[in-house]
Amino acid sequence: MSVRRRSVSGLGPILSVLGVCLTCPVVASAQQDEPIAPIVLDVRGALAKLDESGLTAGQLGVPSTALPRLGLGVDVGLHVYPLRWDGGALGIGASLLLSRGRDQERDSEGEAIGPEIETRLESLAPQISLNFGDRDGWSYISGGLGRSIYAVQQRGTGGTPPRVRTINYGGGARWFAKRHLAFALDLRFYAIDPQNGTSTTPAVARTTLMVFSAGVAVK
């Protein structure tokens, strides 16, 4: 089954990301003795706001309210900073996001009815980042082009859709309470290309998903 692309307005998500980045405090002293660290590893828990498409729900034979609204998972990233200067750095890296959400239609008494629906998001997201701050803490904006698996299906049916092109963009910050350990936040958007249906997975229109993650960073 083919899917017609639908337009997605990117202005709202972009403004949200810029707002987060501008309000994130940059922990930097007046005299920045040390530049941003040359390499950082992030390990964060992730919360994804999933799509509740009526098109996808109709193919599964369930109402859109039966689709998972949120997905829980983990986001692991590795970033290096080949160009560093006082107050900033240019970074290159990638993050791996693994997230799942499950839900089921329920009657007026709260009893589960119909099939259990599982939504799975797996994305390898290369990123180029522009960073602002020093070794003790910095904020950043970043983006890149990668590939994702976005599957919405009845739990236990098996089958995996192909990986499709995905643009990721967002921002965040890291605060180093200790020399090598930081608290890290990231807000990211994944613009996922449409995909055709298979015998086990329905067609999915182009969609943009928001993922918030929080955890630790090690330098």
Block residue for tokens 């928001």: 210
CATH of domain 11-27+39-218: 2.40.160.20
- Is residue 197 over pLDDT 90? no
161-165-171 Cα angle (round to 5): 120
Q: What is the pLDDT of residues 151-191, one digit of tens each?
A: 888 877 766 778 999 999 999 999 998 889 999 999 999 99
Tell me the pLDDT of the chain averaged across its residues.
83
Q: What is the pLDDT of residues 35-48, one digit of tens each?
A: 899 999 999 999 99
At residue 26, the pLDDT reads 44
Q: Tokens for 15?
A: 């403004």
Query: Which are the contacts of 197, defined by CB distance < 8 A and separation ≥ 6?
Result: 1, 3, 59, 203
**CA dihedral sign, ordered 77, 140, 126, 206:** positive
CA dist., res. 122 & res. 101, Å (int): 12
pLDDT band at 204 (very low <50, low <70, confident <90, very high): confident
User: What is 85-106 written as a DSSP string?
Assistant: ETTEEEEEEEEEEEEEEEEEEE
Q: Tokens for 55?
A: 């098109």
- Please report, for the chain, the start and end positions of each structural domain, with discontinuous segments joined by +: 11-27+39-218
